[in-house]
Amino acid sequence: MDIEPATPTLLPDWLTRCAENAPDHLAIQCGSTCWSFAQLADQSRHIAQQLTALGIGENSRVALLAPNGLAYVAFVHALTRLGAILVPLNIRLTQAELRWQLSDVRATLLVSESSLLERAREISTNLPDLPLVTLQSLHPFSNITEVSLLAADGLASVSRTFNPRSQIDLAATQVIMYTSGTTGHPKGVLITYGMQWWNAIGSALNLGHQPDDRWLACLPLFHIGGLSILMRSVIYGISVILHEKFDELVINQSLREDGVTIISVVAVMLQRMLNALASEGAGAHYPAALRCVLLGGGPAPRPLLEQCASLALPVAQTYGMTETCSQAVTLSPVDALRKLGSAGRPLLPVQIQIMQDEQPLPASAAGVIYLKGPTITPGYADRPAITAEAFTHGWFCTGDLGYLDTDGYLYVLDRRSDLIISGGENVYPAEIESALLAHPAVIEAGVCGENDPAWGQVPIAFVTLHSTSTVTETEILAYIQQHLARYKIPRKLYVVAELPRNSSGKLLRRELHTLIKDH
């Protein structure tokens, strides 16, 4: 009998395998609703059948506008069964930003969670060829028992055989996730199943894996940090405690009551959680079951780490981005204070080099951070030129500056040089500058970050205006609010005579702060 050789890039469908091996094990809990792996598999299959009837199949680009919830989770796994590609939409973006992404990605279908349907209709108004359907949410106290798609705006069903996939191709694209670039133009990052697989394996080897782990997810699922938790759940066969949004009081309660062992947050979230805990009085603490707090969003302040140490709270700092499928480098809790300011060492599948002018640098020398490995994106959707620019001899250029110490620990000096991290959201100065320059009264614009106790950083802006202009700062900010998400709007705007530039005319964002003294 001939035996067909194994294909190394094919694996059994992860959710299906979990449903076979542990059908009654908790897969996802959101509010008071709990689904086992068998129930999650059934819900996802139901949605996949409906999508098939709408003509969705392999490589269809399906955009999803939805908040965290059970419907979101089931929908993600449904697309896997069909080989379709998820395009998660950030619900915090403006209509114009979302409309641009849908047009750029050439979406096959727009799916909106029922509470956001009116907004989705407004977005699709100028995209007449983009079909729109509703994703019916599950609510804890309703009589709805399953997630379903409700056809909208005259979309007709098609006659198509439902043939769900039983295997996952690690080389296939799972997600196109948009991230803003330093030029101000968003790019669709290609996330493959192989990236998710190897990132999950690298994380487990680094942080450990326990069959009874429960991972609390309060990051948005439309960000890679949130989405990767869903993938680790079905790869590891562990439970996810999903929260619709971040609320420090609710999160602290969940940590105590839901058996959580791992949580992913950014520094601002963690500080709010600790402040809420401290307000309970002396002796308040987190349960011993919480074995790891995975901390992203940039290096953590020393006072925060010392506060965590005093509570015996195991914090693992990370360095990563959408292009690395979340974690690329992680600092173990035991090294948090010993290697203060470090992002840690690379996960096992990841290689790291510090280079300058495409030449490797020795330990302690600062340069550009380059990464290589199966967790790194193969490129940007429909952007061959930008993809080629991002790689040097197979190494991905992060655009960040840093160095490796003699022990191989990474220290990040600047995240993408001018990147502003506000409440865990990446804010790129060039994107805000582009919106400011669209105002007819603005000649030049420069944006940088300012430290903020609540959000970590907030953007502030500097502009020069035409001499005849009478426009006010308030009017300029009102203008760009039509084009940018709220968290990107500068907290302050200064009108100045000129912006600092070098001899070649390049804007020196690091010197913008010096202009404040004149105001």
Domain boundaries along the sequence of the chain: 15-167, 194-414, 420-518
Residue 182 has what pLDDT? 45
Would you give the distance in Å from CA 165 to the centre of its chain? 27
Residue 29, both tokens: 């809990």
H/E element holding 410? strand 410-414
Instruction: Residue count of the chain, please give it.
Output: 519
In 234-272, which positions are buried (b, 16+ CB within 10 angstroms) versus exposed (e)?
A: bbbbbbbbbbeebebeebbebbeebbbbbbbbbbbbbbb
Under 8 Å between Cβ of 62 and 176: no
Encode pLDDT of 93-141 as tens digits. 989 999 999 999 999 999 999 999 999 999 988 898 899 999 987 655 4
State which CATH number among 3.90.1150.10, 3.40.50.2300, 3.40.50.980, 3.40.50.300 fits the domain covering 15-167: 3.40.50.980
Q: What is the spatial distance between Cα 68 and Cα 79, in angstroms, rounded to a whole number?
A: 17
Residue 461, number of CB atoms within 10 A of its CB: 26
Three-state SS at 368: strand
Residues ≥6 apart with Cβ < 8 Å to 70: 28, 30, 33, 35, 43, 137, 138, 147, 242
Of the candidates 466, 513, 470, 460, the one whose C-alpha atom is nearest the C-alpha of residue 491 is: 460
Residue 91 has what pLDDT? 93
Under 8 Å between Cβ of 216 and 263: yes
Q: Do domains 15-167 and 420-518 have the same CATH topology?
A: no
Of the candidates 13, 122, 132, 127, the one whose C-alpha atom is nearest the C-alpha of residue 64 is: 132
Under 8 Å between Cβ of 195 and 38: no
Q: Is the backbone of residue 322 left (phi > 0), alpha (psi -120 to 50) or beta?
A: alpha
Give the residues of the chain that fall short of pLDDT 50: 1, 141-143, 154, 182, 503-504
Interior angle at CA 225, CA 220 and CA 226, nearest 5: 40
- The CATH topology of domain 194-414 is Rossmann fold (3.40.50)
- The CATH topology of domain 420-518 is GMP Synthetase; Chain A, domain 3 (3.30.300)
Tokens 């990370």 found at? 318
